[in-house]
Amino acid sequence: MKPCAAFAFAGVALLFIARPSAAESGVPVQLGWQAPANCPQDAQVRQKLLELLGPSANDAAPSRLRAEGRIEPVGERFRLTLNIHYDLVNGTRVVEASACEDLGGVAAVTLAVLFRTEHSSSAPLTARDLGGAASVAGAENGAGNAASDASATDDRATSEAKRSPPTVSPPQVLATKQPEKSSRSVATNPSHWRFAFRLPELRTDLGVLPGASYGIGLSLGLRHDAWRFWASGTLWLAQDYEPGPFVGYGAHFRRGSGELSVCRGFRFSAFEVAPCVLLSLDEVSARGTGVGISSTNPRSAWLSLGAGLQGLWSLGRNAALLFGVNGRVATSKPRFVSASVGDGDGEVAQVGAAAVGAVLGCEWLL
């Protein structure tokens, strides 16, 4: 009987040890928690967070949020200090309430709202989202954060408790407030499409015309989760070229181009790297220069196929700095020649088989 009793005792112990671990694994946000014995404990806050997020939290991508919460008595009141981390971005929220039970709900609501914001937007969270270095006075004034909601809910619940026994705790009242707004916003935009544009874009390339080309462009696009779809147009500076010294003829080139590209972004904190495939259309008009020179092929257009790599540095939720490079292969190589009476034809330039380019600009999200 003794061996059986030992095995039974070990099984019960393993069950109780495994239960907190399983509960913790189901919480999508890493949370450390310290509170007095008469206040909500770690398991209660985690359970409340799971209830707020609902079953959709299990299907969401892993969160990069981490938080440490601490409740401590301050006179006759209680203070919650919630330190929140998102990659290298940090923020602190400080909330006071007359009952420490309210503060567990405040922490759960705050993390639930940040979790949904993180997964409903392609832009990273900022220090402003996390709450910045909020002071106790700021939390008491309630500048549009969960602290004011908690204090107002606590005061309403206290006055109602004098008239009748409470049926819903203040944290539960908070739970039915902010997350519902977030869930409605996600429901109205389930696929996370966002319109974007890039202005200005400074472009340069080499290989199309005889010399390096410089231009300014505008791009319009759509972002869907990690995918980016762009349509771009560029006007290039005019270029004069002579094939050699003392040849007596040359050309004046004017150029415009359009581009369609599809990119897939990979985010690393505030940075994003996006490989792209692209299709470009170039149109060049050439006017012969020199005495007695006329253009035999004044305008040419051709397609090019290519690939590129773009890097973006986030400047906030709606702006980013862009740098990109690309390479293209032309599907045809038009020739530009000049003709003069009695001297035959003279070739001025020919489009290269391949070209490389670079772009620097700003991306804006709407």
Residue-wise pLDDT for 58-89, tens only, equals 666 778 888 999 999 988 899 999 999 888 88
- What is the average pLDDT score of the chain? 76
pLDDT of residue 172: 37
- Neighbouring residues of 198: CB distance < 8 A, sequence distance ≥ 6: 217, 218, 219, 221, 230, 232, 322, 361, 362, 363, 364
* 197 and 173 fall within a common domain: no
| Residue 284 included in any domain | yes
* 225 and 348 fall within a common domain: yes
Which position has the token pair 């290298």? 88
| Residue 302 included in any domain | yes
Confidence of residue 161 (pLDDT cuts 50, 70, 90): very low
Question: Which CATH number does the domain housing residue 278 bear?
Answer: 2.40.160.70
Mean pLDDT of 116-130: 80
* 108 and 37 fall within a common domain: yes
pTM of structure: 0.51
Q: What ranges make up the beta strands (E) of the chain?
A: 30-34, 65-74, 77-86, 89-97, 193-206, 213-224, 227-236, 239-241, 250-264, 266-268, 271-289, 294-295, 299-314, 319-330, 335-340, 344-350, 354-365
> Quick check: 226 and 263 in contact, CB under 8 A?
no
The DSSP code sequence of 35-60 is --TTS--HHHHHHHHHHHH-THHHHS
Which position has the token pair 């996600």? 186
Token couple for 22: 């399983």
pLDDT of residue 15: 40
Mean pLDDT of 191-203: 88
* 61 and 178 fall within a common domain: yes
Separation of alpha carbons 280 and 257, rounded Å: 7
> Quick check: 119 and 149 in contact, CB under 8 A?
no
Domain boundary among 149, 173, 188: 188
Domain boundary among 188, 221, 239: 188
* 223 and 168 fall within a common domain: no
| Residue 19 included in any domain | no
Domain count, the chain: 2
pLDDT of residue 149: 45
| Residue 7 included in any domain | no
pLDDT of residue 189: 43
pLDDT of residue 164: 40
| Residue 12 included in any domain | no
Which of 152-156, 217-221, 288-292, 357-361 has the weakest average pLDDT? 152-156
| Residue 244 included in any domain | yes
* 199 and 176 fall within a common domain: no
* 182 and 208 fall within a common domain: no
| Residue 11 included in any domain | no
Mean pLDDT of 310-337: 90
Number of CB atoms found within 10 A of residue 45's CB: 26
* 77 and 211 fall within a common domain: no
| Residue 17 included in any domain | no
What does the DSSP 8-state code read for residue 135? -
Domain boundary among 163, 188, 213: 188
Mean pLDDT of 256-263: 96
pLDDT of residue 30: 87
Say yes or no to pLDDT of 35 above 80.
yes
Token couple for 153: 């809910």
Mean pLDDT of 92-119: 88
* 223 and 358 fall within a common domain: yes
Question: Which CATH number does the domain housing residue 46 bear?
Answer: 3.30.160.100
* 46 and 98 fall within a common domain: yes
What does the DSSP 8-state code read for residue 248? -
* 228 and 361 fall within a common domain: yes
Q: Which range marks the domain in which residue 42 is found?
A: 24-188
**By C-alpha distance, which of 310, 317, 312, 361 is closest to 198?**
361
Number of CB atoms found within 10 A of residue 133's CB: 12
- 344-363: per-residue pLDDT in tens? 566 778 888 999 999 999 99
Share of residues in the chain with pLDDT > 70 (%): 70
Phi, psi of 84 (to 5 degrees): -120, 135
pLDDT of residue 19: 39
Say yes or no to pLDDT of 38 above 70.
yes
* Single-letter amino acid, residue 298: P
- The span from the first CA to the last CA of the chain, in angstroms, equals 72
* 217 and 183 fall within a common domain: no
What does the DSSP 8-state code read for residue 133? B
Find the angle CA(128)-CA(88)-CA(309) to the nearest 5 degrees. Answer: 100
